[in-house]
Copies of this chain bind each other. A is one copy, B any other.
Amino acid sequence: MFREKIKVLDCTIRDGGLINNHDFDLKFVRHVYAAVSAAGVDYMELGYKNSRKLLPAEEFGMWKFCADDDIRRVVEGVESPAKISVMVDVGRVDPDEIKPRKESPVQMIRVASYVKEIDKAIALVNEFHDKGYETTVNVMAISRALETEVDEALAQLEQEAKADVVYVVDSFGSLYQETTEFLVKKYKSVLKSKEIGIHTHNNLQLGFSNTIEAVIHGANYLDATIYGIGRGAGNCPLELLLGFLKNPKFDLRPILEIIQQEFLPLREKIEWGYIIPYAITGMFDEHPRAAIAVRNTPKKDDYRDFYESIADASAE
Q: Which residues of A contact B (CB under 8 A)?
A: 176-178, 202, 204-209, 212-213, 216, 228, 237, 239-240, 243-244, 252-253, 256-257, 259-260, 264, 273-274, 276, 279-280, 283, 301-304, 307-308
Provide the residues of chain B in CB contact with A240, threshold 8 Å. Answer: 204-205, 279
| Complex-state Cα separation, A275 to B19, whole angstroms | 22
B contact residues around A208 at 8 Å (CB):
204-206, 209
Query: Closest residue to A216 on the B side, CB-wise?
Result: B178
Q: Judging by beta carbons under 8 Å apart, are B304 and A239 in contact?
A: no
Partner of A177, one of B177, B276, B283, B301: B177
Interchain CA distance A242-B100 in the complex, whole Å: 52
Which of B239, B260, B301 is A264 in contact with, Cβ under 8 Å?
A: B301
Partner of A209, one of B205, B283, B303: B205
> In the complex, what residue of chain B is closest to A243 when comparing beta carbons?
B283
Which residues in B have their C-beta under 8 angstroms from that of A212?
Answer: 176-177
C-alpha spacing A16/B301, complex, angstroms: 22
User: Which of B177, B178, B207, B279 interacts with A205 by CB under 8 Å?
Assistant: B207
The chain B residue with its CB closest to the CB of A284 is B243
Bound: A243/B280 CA distance, A: 8
Q: How far is the CA of A178 from the CA of B304 in the complex (A)?
A: 35
A301-B205 in contact (CB<8A): no
Is B256 a contact partner of A276 (Cβ separation < 8 A)? yes
CB distance from A198 to the nearest CB of B (A): 14
A207 to B240 alpha-carbon distance, docked (Å): 14
CB pair B257–A303 under 8 Å, yes or no, is: yes
Query: Which one, B202, B213, B259, B307, contacts A256 given CB within 8 A?
Result: B307
Cα A228 to Cα B216 in complex, Å, equals 27
**Min CB–CB distance A243 → chain B (angstroms):** 4
User: Using Cβ atoms and an 8 Å threshold, which residues of chain B touch A213?
Assistant: 177
Contact of A259 among B207, B283, B303 (CB under 8 A): B303
Min CB distance, A313 to chain B, in Å?
16
Q: Are B276 and A259 in contact (CB under 8 A)?
A: yes
A300 to chain B, nearest CB (A): 10
> Contacts A279-B239, A303-B259, A307-B252: A244 and B176 contacting too (C-beta < 8 A)?
yes
Chain B residues lying within 8 Å of A237, measured Cβ to Cβ, are 205
CA distance A264 to B208 in the complex (A): 24
Bound-state CA distance A257–B276 (Å) is 11
- In whole angstroms, what is the CA distance A212 to B175 when docked? 12
Tell me if A301 and B244 are in contact (CB < 8 A): no
CA of A301 to CA of B268, assembled, Å: 14
Q: How far is the CA of A260 from the CA of B275 in the complex (A)?
A: 11
Q: Which residues of B contact A178 (CB under 8 A)?
A: 216
Q: Smallest CB–CB gap between A41 and chain B, Å?
A: 17
Q: Which chain B residues border A307 with CB–CB below 8 Å?
A: 252-253, 256
